[in-house]
Amino acid sequence: MPKSESAPLPKSFYITTLGCPKNTVDSMSMHQSLLKEGLLPANGPEASDFHLVNTCTFIQEATKETIQTILDSIDVKKKRKQKLVVVGCFAERAGKEISEDLPEVDLHFGTGKYEQAGAILRKAFPLDFQDAKEFNEDLIERLQISTQIENYSKPYSYVKISDGCNRGCSFCIIPNLRGRYRDAEASDVIQETKKAIRAGAKEICLVSQDTVFYGKDTDRLLDLVRSVASIQDLSLLRLLYLYPDKKTERLLDLYAELPNIAPYLESPLQHVSSSVLKSMNRSGDYSYFKHLYEKARALKPGLEIRTSFILGFPGETTADVEEIIRFIQDVKPEKVNLFPYSPQEGTKGFDLPGQIKDKEISKRVNLVREAYLEVLKDIHQQRIGKVYEAIVDDVTEEGATVRRFQDAPEIDEVVFVEDQSLKVGQFGKVQIDSFFEFDMSGTWVS
C-alpha cells in the first residue's frame, strides 16, 4: 500500500510597516486576520510567501519612502516565488497608478480593510490556502507573542481608540484616506489592552489620528482613560496625538489624578502664528499654547513635551518663522519635530496663494532646527546627573537600550547603558551621564 503524502505546510506572511504607530496597530489587525486564515508568520520578507507592505503617504517624504519600499520589495519578489500585496494609505490614494505602473504588485487594497486581510487574500489566491480554516485561539495567542512578531515582542504596545479625522486641517490628506472620525468601542479598547498585557506589554500607548476627539463633547474619553489606567498589571499608560485645545486641558487633570500616566505630553502645534494657523484651519495661538504647556508641567512634575511644526505653509512670512523660534526658546519643548510643507493634491492647502519654493522652505527648517538644537543642549546639560524612572527596551551583547518614562517608544531619544544583565521590560531607574545630539548614555542604578 503506497505511503500517503503528508499535508503541505501552511503558507507564510510578513508585514512591512511604514509610517506612524497607528499603522503598527493596523498591521497587528492584519496579522491576526492572516493567522485566522491559516497562514504563519515568517522571519522576514525574503522568507515569506505573502509580503504585505503597509504604506504611508502623509507627506512627500513618506510617499517617496513608500514607493522605494515597494520597488525594493519587487526586487525581493524576483528572487523568490511570492505574492506582493500593497496595503493602506498609499494604496487608497494611488490604487489606479499601482495597477497601471506596478504590474509586479499582485494585489492592493486601501484603508479600513485591515481586519479583513486574511479573507481578502484567501479570495484572491484560493490555491495558496489550505481548505481547513479551523484554528485554535490558544495557538494564535502564542503566535502573537512570538519574539518574531512586531509589537508583541516589545515591552510596549499600541492600542488604537479611533480612526479617521474630522478636523479638516488644510495641509492634511488623512481624512481623504481614512474617512470621517470613528470611535472604537470602549470595550474593544479594554479588550485589546488586556490582550497586549497578557502578551507581555507593560506600557500601553493609546493612539489615533485625533485622540482628544474621542467622545466629542462628552466625558467618554476621560472615562476611557480611567478604565484603561485601572487595568491590572498595566505599569505605564501613554497618551499620543493630543490636539492642543480645551479638551486636552481637561484631559491634563487626569495626569495629576492617575499616577501611571506617563509624564509626557505629545501635542503637535504645527505653528504658533495666528495667521498661519487660521490658514491651516487650526485653532490656538502662541499664548494659548504656552498656557497649555505650562499647565501640563505644573500638573505632572518631570513631564516633557513633544510637538511638531510645519515650515513653509503658503503665506508664511519670515516673521512667522521667527515666532516659532521665539516660542521654542521661551517654552523650551524637549522634543521638536520639523516638517517641510509639501502640497498634497486633494487638500484645501494645495491651491492656496503664496506657495513657497522648496529651497526657501529647507532654509526655514534648518533655521528652526538650529535654534531648537541650541535649546536641546541646555536641556541635556540639566539632565546630567539626574535619575529617571525607566524601562528596558532591548538588551544586546553591547549593553541595554533604556527609555525614560519621559520618552515614547520608537520616536524619542533613548539611553544607552553598558549593562548586559538587564532584562527587556525591566523597570528601574537610570542616571544620565552624558549625551549625544539626541540620545544619552547612563548608568542603571536600580
Q: What is the DSSP string of 93-160?
A: HSHHHHHHH-TT--EEE-TT-GGGHHHHHHHH-GGGS-S-----HHHHHHHHT-TTSTTTTSSEEEEE
C-alpha separations of 175 from 93, 170, 185, 333, 343 in Å: 11, 11, 20, 28, 15
Per the annotation, where are the binding residues for [4Fe-4S] cluster?
A: 20, 56, 89, 165, 169, 172
Q: What is the DSSP string of 250-271?
A: HHHHHHHH-TTB-SEEE---B-
Per the annotation, where are the binding residues?
A: 20, 56, 89, 165, 169, 172
The answer to whether 404 and 392 have CB atoms below 8 angstroms apart is: no
Cβ neighbors of 254 (< 8 A, separation 6 or more) are 222, 225, 226, 229, 261
Q: How far apart are CA 231 and CA 221, in angstroms?
A: 16
Q: How many CB atoms lie within 10 A of CB 379?
A: 15
The answer to whether 405 and 397 have CB atoms below 8 angstroms apart is: no
- Written as nine digits, the cell of 256 is 495629576
> Which of 104, 101, 30 is closest to 72 using CA atoms?
104
DSSP 8-state secondary structure symbol assigned to residue 208 = -
The residue assigned the cell 490555491 is 127
**Would you say the C-alpha torsion 272, 273, 279, 284 has a positive or negative sign?**
positive
Q: How many CB atoms lie within 10 A of CB 267?
A: 24
C-alpha separations of 267 from 170, 243, 298, 336 in Å: 18, 6, 16, 10
Q: How far apart are CA 23 and CA 57, in angstroms?
A: 11
> Which of 436, 438, 443 is closest to 421 using CA atoms?
443
Helix, strand or coil for residue 347? coil
